[in-house]
Amino acid sequence: MGHLVTPSFGFVVGDGKKVGFWKDKWCGTIPLCEAFPSLYVLASYKEAWVNEVWTAEGERGGSWNLCFNRPFNDWELEEVERLFCCLEGKKVRVDEEDMVRWMDSKDGVFSVKSLYKTMQPVSLVS
**Residue 117's pLDDT is what?**
64
pLDDT (tens digit per residue) in 70-123: 999 999 999 999 999 999 989 999 899 998 887 666 665 555 665 556 666 766
**Residue 10's pLDDT is what?**
86
**Residue 8's pLDDT is what?**
74
pLDDT (tens digit per residue) in 37-58: 999 999 999 999 999 999 988 6
Percent of the chain with pLDDT over 70: 75
**Residue 104's pLDDT is what?**
61
Write the DSSP string, 40-103: HHHBS-TT-BGGGGEE--STTS-EE---BSSPPPGGGHHHHHHHHHHHTT----TTS--EEEET
Please check whether residue 14 is in contact with residue 96, taking contact to mean a CB–CB distance below 8 angstroms: yes
